[in-house]
Each structure stands twice: as C-alpha cells, then as structure tokens.
Structure 1
Amino acid sequence: MSHHRRARRDAGEAASGQVCFDAADWAWEFLRRNADYAADWRRSVPRRLPCLALTDGTQLLRLPRRFPQAEKWGLLAFSDPAVAARDAPVLWHARALKRVARLKALPAREGDEEPPNVLADFKVERHAVIDADGQPLVLLKGRGIHVAVELHDLPVLTRRFRPVFELERLSELAAQTELLKRLQRFMVKETAPPETSFLGADERLRQALLALDESMNGKTYRQIATAIFGAKMVADEWQGPSQFLKDRTRRLVAKGTDLMRGGYRDLLG
C-alpha cells in the first residue's frame, strides 16, 4: 500500500470512529507528511531508539543525549514518518505540548484516607521518557485525549507515591484543573464514547488531511473535492453559479499545507 493510500485510510478511519485520534495524533499526522521532517529523520542517528516495558506495562525510553534536530520539530526524539500515530508512540517535547501537569511524588503517610498511587492506576496507554538530564516525562493517552505529566523523581516510575500537583502561577489554574480532571478520568475504567479531541474539529482535520494528501499526489481541485465530498456532490455543484465548493476545497488544501509546514503545533494542547 502506498504512503498516500495508507494516509487516506488512516485519516478516514480516525474520523469514522474506527481509530480515536487526539489532538497530538492529528499533529503527528500532518508533521509526518513534511518532506523536510522526513529528510531530517533519515539523517538522524540512530533513527529508532529501543523502548523498555516496565512490569506495569508502561513503555519507557531513556534518551542517551539531546536530539536538537528533533526538538526543532517539537519532539524529544525522532519518530518514523512512515508510521501512523496509532501504530507508534510520538514523543512530543514538553515545551511543544504547552500544557503539562507537574507532579511531585511524596512518600505515603500513615493514616491517609487514600492509598498511594502507582503509574498503573492510570488505565490508559502510558509512555515514559527520561531525557538526557534525567528528567522523566510521562505521556498518557486514551479516550481521545492526552495528558503529559512532568515528574520530579525517577522512583515514581516504579514505586508507590503520594501525588502533589504543582501550580507555578495562578493564570495556569483553569488549564491545570482541566488536566487534573482528565487524569482523574484516566483512573477509572470507562466504556462511554471517547471525548471529542477539541471543539469537534476531527471532521475538519480529516478533510484537511485528505485534501493535503490528494494535493501532494498531484490531483486537481475537482479530484480533491471528489475524494472528500463524493462524486455526486461535485457533479451537482462544481459548475454551478456558487463557488462555495471550489472555495472550500482550496481552503482545505491551504489549511492542510499550513498544518504540515508548522501549524500542527497549534493542535498541541
């Protein structure tokens, strides 16, 4: 299967609910189509770093050094652009993610009403990264949302702890409260439909991604519109007095191109 056919499949499945993408997944889908990113990845050494699985299932990656070229794209380390967001972890840098929960682990106290926590209490996908300075970051993903947690202490990765979440400034209160609510939901097994990533934007992002793929594949605007909206709608409206469908298709191509060239960072909450 070609890159573009696979990309169209991935985008279509995400929007239809077969695959649940969060905002960070969508950001990766646009970034991995960037030819300059792919060239930097090909020049990187090593291209792939091995992950270890902790006993609780958390995937752990220890970075031997910083990767400035990857950081340029908002990543801690390079991810293979041929691999879709649902098939491999993408290790976003905390600075790129904008909103990060900060956790300080304290020892359990006798008489506490709640038992101490472990990472496995978060019943979602967990990827931990220890950067070159020994700073751990845990990326939690599930139910169409993601949360990044900066840890002060390495032992948190394998030991029980009493969590204390830090707030650097009062202006962070609303954003940090939302992150903590997400973390709380991660601690409960849920069977409800996943939360929409943000403002119901998945359909618009899917269309922009498809428009980008078709454009990169050399298709005309009409062919792009047919791939997105269907042959009947294009046959009915393309030659009509209204320019709505043509304008919408052009905007989708422009939006997809902008997201690929750097706008993907705006998707990272």
Structure 2
Amino acid sequence: MAQSLLDRGPDHWHPIAAYLYVLHLDGPSLAWEYLRRNADYRRDWLRSRRQSELVPDWGLRLLEDPGVDARDAHPTWFPDHDTVLQLYPDADPPPGADLFEFWRIPGHKQLIHDGHRLMLVVRLPGCCVRLAFTPTLEDGMAYVYGIRACQKPCQRHRALAGELNNLQTASDATLTAVAKPRPSPSSLQELHTLQALDGTLAGASLRTIAEVLFGADAVTDGWHADGDLRARVRRLVQRGKK
C-alpha cells in the first residue's frame, strides 16, 4: 500500500522505478492516479473522515483514500466506465446455459460494495477486469451481460468484447505471466506527467524536474529559456494539473 501523499519526503518522486506500474494502468486506474493528487480531493477526503456531511461530487459513489495508489485502490466511479461488465439473472435461459459461479472466475479477486451493489475487480496477468453484480444475481443462476444504451454503442460494444475476451482467455488457460510490448508513447507520457506533477507538488523547479526525468546531461546541453526541453517539461506539468 502506498504511503500517504502528504507524508512522503520531498524527494519521493525521484526514482522512476516507483512509477513503472503506471505503464500498465487502464483508463479508470489512470483517472484515479490524477484524482488522488488533487489537493481539493484530499481535503474532502480528510473532511469526510471527520464529519458526516456530504462532500462534493468527484465522480465517485464513495470517496477513496488518496494515499492508496491504483494497484490497491478500488474507486467506485459514477457512472460506470464503459469497460465494466454488468451481470444480471437470465430471465429466459436456454437449456444448458452457463451458470454464474463466483469461485470459478479466474484471477486475483477483490470485492467491493459501492452502496448499491457488489463490484468485483479481477486482476489478471496483463489486464484488469471489472464486474458489477445486480443484487438479484446468485451463485448457480444463469446470467446475461448488460450494456447501457447510448447514441454510439459500437465503441462500448468493442470495449466490453475486449473485457470478455480477457476473461475467457484467463478461464481457458493458467496464465502466470504475459510478455508485453514496449511501452507506447502515450503510456510513457502518463508516467512522465505523473512524475512531473509529483515534483511540482513537492516544490521542485522545472529544471529539477527535467534533471530527474531526462538526466543532468540532457539539461546541461539543452536547457534554454526557449528550448524544447524546457517547453516539454512545462507541458507535462500543465497537463498534470488539468
């Protein structure tokens, strides 16, 4: 479990190894990494711990501890992300229909109640699948997957199909590791953005952030008032604050 963002030392953001997990996060997990660094969110989290008053809407059903990173946190987003698989009892099951069997779901399982229903986060080698169970679903029932209606359903269908494929692949074989390709440019950008944002929150200058991210030699050779390196670091910091 991550140490509180408020309790860590000023140089906690220097080791890039501490951010490598970011390369493998999906959309909901990345969103949490940015939200938990938001000063107003951290204030509301502390307030919610001391008082029973309502807190502002952060797009969550329940406030999550900002000191916990995406590897262990379980933010319950509202509305659900497109990749959440909703499971319902089948009102008209055919003969031989597949039955819901909780303990046969593969992967490392983490169960959360969001105040309305049970949600299951399934972590598999190389991916993370999120399931939402209607309260009427019981073990041993035939079941169906539900999808929310929208103007452009094709993109949502593809996202859900991808999650089902991940789950089916894991059910068909015992996976212990997955060989992943080189990180994409967008994944590296997320890593650098979060590291630069943490540097800013720790009070570091743009030049110090550049030295940590790209090395002292690169800064010595390329740090100028109107240089590309300085502009790149500035854009990373601005992106992280949005």
TM exceeding 0.5: yes
Give the superposed CA RMSD: 3.5
Residue in 2 that maps onto 1:185: 166
**Partner deviation per Cα, 1:209-231 (whole Å, 9 max, x = no partner):** 11111112222211111111111
Contact 1:143/1:193, CA 8 A, preserved across alignment: no
Alignment pair present for 1:162 and 2:146? no
Q: In structure 2, what is the Cα distance between the partners aligned to 1:195 and 1:155?
A: 38
Match in the other structure for 2:88: 104
Whether the 8 Å contact between 1:102 and 1:149 is mirrored in structure 2 is yes
2:76 paired with 1:92 = yes
| Deviation of 1:178 (Å) | 2.8
Show the counterpart of 1:213.
198
1:252 alignment partner AA = L
Q: Which residue of 1 aligns with 2:4?
A: none
Q: In 1, Cα distance between the equivalents of 2:148 and 2:30? A: 29
> What does residue 3 of structure 2 align with?
none
2:113/2:119 contact within 8 Å kept = yes
Corresponding residue number in structure 2 for 1:135 = 117
User: Amino acid of the residue matched to residue 217 of structure 2?
Assistant: K
Q: Find out whether 1:246 has 2:204 as its counterpart.
A: no
**Structure 1 contact 3–82 (Cα < 8 Å) conserved:** no
Aligned counterpart, 1:150:
132
From 97, 101, 120, give the equivalent of 1:118.
101
1:39-50 matched pairs, under 5 angstroms = 39-45=43-49
TM-fit CA distance, 1:172: 1.9
Contact 1:25-1:85 within 8 A present in 2 as well: yes
- Judged with a 3 Å threshold, the aligned counterparts in structure 2 of structure 1 residues 110 and 26 are, in CA distance, closer, same or farther, namely closer
How far is the alpha carbon of 1:115 from its aligned partner? Answer: 4.6
1:24 to partner: Cα distance: 2.5
- State how far apart, in whole Å, the 1-side matches of 2:34 and 2:73 are: 15
Deviations along 1:176-198, one digit per CA (max 9) or x if unpaired, are 3332332332241333235899x
Deviations 1:76-125 (A, max 9, x none): 22222222222x3322224152443322123896851x652323333233
The answer to whether the 8 A contact 2:82-2:156 is kept is no
- Structure number with higher relative contact order (C-alpha < 8 Å, ≥ 6 residues apart): 1
**Secondary structure, in 3 states, of the residue corresponding to 2:132?**
strand
3-state SS in 1 of match to 2:55:
helix
Residue number in structure 2 paired with 1:262: none
SS of residue paired to 2:119: strand
- Aligned to 1:219, the other structure's residue is in SS state coil
Select the residue among 216, 219, 238 that pairs with 1:234: 219
In the alignment, structure 1 segments of 5+ residues that lack a partner are 48-64, 259-269
Give 1:2's aligned residue.
Answer: 8
**Residues 110 and 92 of structure 1: is their aligned pair in 2 closer, same or farther, counting only changes over 3 Å?**
closer
Secondary structure (helix, strand or coil) at the match of 1:117 reads coil
- Aligned partners of 1:202 and 1:19: how far apart in 2? 5
Supply the distance in 2 between the matched residues of 1:77 and 1:235 (Cα, whole angstroms).
Answer: 47
Q: Which residue among 222, 239, 242 is the counterpart of 1:255?
A: 239
Give the 3 Å change call, closer, same or farther, for CA 23–168 of structure 1 in structure 2. Answer: closer
Aligned mates of 1:225, 1:215 — CA distance in 2: 11
Native 8 Å contact 2:111 2:120 kept in 1:
yes
Counterpart position of 2:55: 69
- What SS does structure 2 have at the residue aligned with 1:97? coil
Alignment partner, residue 31 of structure 1: 35
The two structures have a TM-score, normalised by structure 1, of: 0.70
Identity %: 23
Q: Which runs of 5+ in 2 are unaligned?
A: 1-6
